[in-house]
A and B are shown apart, each in its own frame.
Chain A
Amino acid sequence: MKKYILDASVILTYLIGKNNIVRIEFNKILKSQKQNKAKFFSTHLLPKEIGNGLRYSISNQKLAKEILEKSLNLPVTYFELKPEHYQKILELSYKLQTSFYDTSYHFLAILLKATFLTCDKRYFQKAKQLKHITLL
């Protein structure tokens, strides 16, 4: 079974982005999840980042709440990172010159031998050398 780490950029680009390629590619992964061929994971940062993304991109509060609800209903397992994991994330974020937030998703992908799915081109360019990452 394939394991994927989801960040807010994938969820929000799929739901409210203009990029149809992301929708097509993520549809395939959603389908494989429904067939029990894939499993989704993330960090506890995900709900906060989706919420923040909605807060500053959508003025219609009712729609934003619906998007948050449907996003948080997705079958995602939230991984509990330990203090030693946070130390590793900090080291990696210094090394890659990336944010601690973005690096935490990627670290989880490396830890779980999974693939980090993101639509964040800047992060991808800085961190693709670590592998375990796919830019949608």
Chain B
Amino acid sequence: MNTTQISITIPEYIYKTLIGFVSKGKISNFVSQAVETKLLEQSFANNPIDEFVALSKKTPKQKQENIMQAIKKGRL
């Protein structure tokens, strides 16, 4: 697995708690797993309405008349 080295800043009390759980040599693995878990939680938290709203922010916009014509085009 490819890895990337990063530098992060965390509150001291979290760090002290962290090194009470894992040895210094295993901090990267622990943090990586914690971040991955958090990211998975967030992706599952996305509901269809949030995704629908998010999509509206990135689509190119067009005139109302074009949309109405497109919907009705080809109706028998």
* A interface residues, Cβ below 8 angstroms from B: 8-9, 12-19, 23, 27, 30, 33-34, 49, 52-57, 63, 66-67, 70-71, 73-75, 99, 101, 119-120
Contacts and interface: CB of A to CB of B under 8 A. Distances in A.
Q: Is the interface of A mostly helix, strand, loop or mixed?
A: helix
15 contacts: A8-B71, A9-B67, A14-B56, A15-B52, A16-B60, A17-B62, A18-B64, A27-B53, A30-B49, A30-B53, A52-B73, A53-B67, A56-B73, A70-B52, A99-B72
Size category of the B interface is: 20 to 34
Nearest to B52: A70
Q: Which of A12, A49, A74 has the most CB of B within 10 A?
A: A12
Interface string B48-76: 11011101100111111011111111110
A57 B66 CA distance: 7
B49 A33 contact: yes
B47 interface: yes
Given A14-B56, A15-B56, A34 B47 contact: yes
B74 A13 contact: no
Interface of B: 47-49, 51-53, 55-56, 59-64, 66-75
B55 A67 contact: yes
Nearest to A49: B71
Contacts of B71: 8-9, 12, 49, 52-53
Contacts of B75: 99, 101
A61 to B, nearest CB: 14
Given A12-B67, A34-B47, A53-B67, A74 B61 contact: no
A74 B67 contact: no
A17 B45 CA distance: 27
A49 B69 CA distance: 11
Nearest to A75: B48
